[in-house]
Structure 1
Amino acid sequence: MSQTSDGDGLLIPISKHDNIQGTIDAQTILVKYGDYQCLPCGEVHRMIQEIQQQIQLCFVFRHFPRIHIHFQAQKAAEAAEAAAVQNKFWQMHDLLFENQYALNNGHLLEYANEIQLDINRFLQDMTDHVHAERVAQNIQGGIQSGVSNTPALFINGVRYRDAWDTERLLAAILD
């Protein structure tokens, strides 16, 4: 697929392969391309959690680790996907954003244990980089949609480009 976006439209549709909170038929679908080591991504994570307390929406998280500046972001993304196959993506996702400064192998194992993953399976997935291709697909989809930096948000398929504060993001979602 050589189609690329001008950066304002989401080109990769939501699918069953995505990590989704809420229902796909919600009035508002919010897609975030993020990096677990990116501090602004952590701030936006907290904003989205706050917004989810106020309104119902479909939230989709896609990986976009910026490995040239965040050396542990790829491993963290793979850890989240290793948790996903054990139906615990969102628990791992939250822990990774809550602990952005602690994403080395020992910490990832600690988080896997905390959310009660099958540790042997988790370690095997991480050692074999079982989920690296999935992360790469998210990155490629982001690039096709014009993502070059994180965080990147799309509200109902349209890129959000306003200020990173809860009130403005909520207003854009409700608009």
Structure 2
Amino acid sequence: MKSRQALRFLSGTALIALIWVVLLPLPTWAIEPVKMTPTEQAVLEIVRRHPDVVLESLTAYRDQQLADEAEAKAQALEQVRQNLSAFVGNSPVRGNPAAPVMLIEFADFECPFCVQAYQPIAALLQRHPQVGFVFKHLPLIGLHDQALPAARAAWAAGQQGKFWEFYDELFASGEPLADDRYPRVAQRLGLNLRRWERDRNSIAAQQAIDANVVQAGELGITGTPSFLVVTPSSVVPVTGADLITIEQVIDSSLD
């Protein structure tokens, strides 16, 4: 509690300092003082005499923002539960698409944490064959150069019914992602290479990936891997490869 209060104090102090820097007139040798209206002068005087009031206002404003974000996220999660089929859309599903519990992963093929989560998730799904698994693309293009090319390549494989085979190849082999690797994987999987090449460079590929990214944003998801455990009564978001929490939610919903 004390650390949280200290953080709030520091954040408020920093913002107040910024207000003072902006509002206080600069020295005459730097620039002519800004002429202020009587109202502006009165506001500045309040800030100078009662910084605690400003701090309280800033804290209340920030707290309200956080509350609004939490409410928006809760509403978005409830929409996922109520309209699961629409949320899944054309995303690849491993297992029963009408399973009583669905595990949805937002992932980046180049994310090392997603790679680490691959085998544990596969084992979890083997233990719970009644759970469906949905993959959503969330390429972190600011961090990983191959995230988007890999996503497009996997999406194109999915157009020929081979998404999960491509997914397994990229995650399981341990071979680094590279532009020259994707055609080799496509060939090994027996894909029509001309069609695959056309699909991965298509506008449709980018639109499908962008749609997943938008969904992540609406749910406040910014990192990978991130999961949603969707049951008939709830949607539980899980950040990171927290397999213990994921399995606990699955077990409790299937009891």
Corresponding position: 1:164 with 2:241:
yes
Residue 160 of structure 2 is aligned with which of 65, 69, 86?
Answer: 86
Cα distance in 1 for residues equivalent to 2:145 and 2:161:
26
SS at 1:79's partner residue?
A: helix
Give the structure-1-normalised TM-score: 0.87
Residue 111 of structure 2 is aligned with which of 31, 38, 43?
Answer: 38
In the TM superposition, residue 25 of structure 1 has moved relative to its aligned partner by 2.4
In the TM superposition, residue 9 of structure 1 has moved relative to its aligned partner by 2.6
The structure with the larger Rg is 2
Structure number with the higher helix fraction is 2
Residues 8, 122 of structure 1: alpha-carbon distance in 2 compared, 3 angstrom cutoff = same
Cα distance in 2 for residues equivalent to 1:10 and 1:71:
34
Letter in structure 1 aligned against 2:167: H
User: Would the aligned equivalents of 1:36 and 1:100 in 2 still touch at CA under 8 Å?
Assistant: no
Structure 2 unmatched ranges of 5 or more: 1-70
Cα distance in 2 for residues equivalent to 1:171 and 1:119:
42
SS at 1:120's partner residue?
A: helix
SS at 2:150's partner residue?
A: helix
User: Would the aligned equivalents of 2:118 and 2:172 in 1 still touch at CA under 8 Å?
Assistant: no
Residue 26 of structure 1 is aligned with which of 99, 105, 110?
Answer: 99
Residues 39, 7 of structure 1: alpha-carbon distance in 2 compared, 3 angstrom cutoff = farther
SS at 1:50's partner residue?
A: helix
In the TM superposition, residue 6 of structure 1 has moved relative to its aligned partner by 5.1
SS at 1:5's partner residue?
A: helix
In structure 2, what is the equivalent of residue 103 of structure 1? Answer: 177
In the TM superposition, residue 29 of structure 1 has moved relative to its aligned partner by 0.7
Residues 144, 116 of structure 1: alpha-carbon distance in 2 compared, 3 angstrom cutoff = same
Q: Note the aligned Cα RMSD (angstroms).
A: 2.3
In structure 1, what is the equivalent of residue 128 of structure 2? Answer: 55
In the TM superposition, residue 171 of structure 1 has moved relative to its aligned partner by 2.2
SS at 1:160's partner residue?
A: strand
In structure 2, what is the equivalent of residue 68 of structure 1? Answer: 142
In the TM superposition, residue 122 of structure 1 has moved relative to its aligned partner by 1.2
SS at 1:17's partner residue?
A: coil
Give the structure-2-normalised TM-score: 0.61
Corresponding position: 1:9 with 2:83:
no
User: Would the aligned equivalents of 1:4 and 1:146 in 2 still touch at CA under 8 Å?
Assistant: no
Residues 126, 164 of structure 1: alpha-carbon distance in 2 compared, 3 angstrom cutoff = closer
Alignment: residue pair count: 172
User: Would the aligned equivalents of 1:5 and 1:11 in 2 still touch at CA under 8 Å?
Assistant: no
Q: Which has the higher contact order (CA 8 A, sep 6+)?
A: 1
SS at 1:150's partner residue?
A: coil
Structure 1 unmatched ranges of 5 or more: none
Residues 11, 80 of structure 1: alpha-carbon distance in 2 compared, 3 angstrom cutoff = farther
Cα distance in 2 for residues equivalent to 1:24 and 1:149:
25
Residues 71, 100 of structure 1: alpha-carbon distance in 2 compared, 3 angstrom cutoff = farther
Residue 229 of structure 2 is aligned with which of 152, 155, 158?
Answer: 155
